[in-house]
């Protein structure tokens, strides 16, 4: 496995990470590893929209129909 050294971290950042690690019952190293793993898994906007579009197409292909949200909002507004 690879190692990373991060130099010149602000003391406040390190203190915040230590507190977060303690709250999560992890060592500082384990907490930073968890944060980096989560950050590396985040999608770009383009990737996120591709997934949304693929899901929408899957729903359409399965025969699902979707109401026009404008009409639903108008109905809700008119009923109050």
pLDDT in tens, 13-68: 999 999 999 999 999 999 999 999 998 888 889 999 999 999 989 998 998 877 77
> Where do the structural domains in the chain lie, given as residue ranges?
11-41, 45-78
Helix axes 28-41, 11-23, angle to 10 degrees: 90
Q: CB of 18 within 8 A of CB of 28?
A: yes
* Per-residue pLDDT, 79: 84
């Amino acid at each position: 496995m690879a190692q990373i050294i991060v130099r010149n971290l602000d003391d406040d950042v390190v203190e915040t990470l230590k507190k977060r690690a303690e709250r999560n019952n992890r060592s500082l190293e384990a907490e930073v590893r968890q944060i980096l793993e989560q950050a590396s898994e985040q999608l770009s906007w383009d990737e996120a929209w591709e997934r949304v579009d693929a899901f929408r197409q899957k729903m359409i292909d399965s025969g699902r129909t979707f109401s026009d949200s404008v009409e639903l909002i108008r109905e809700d507004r008119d009923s109050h």
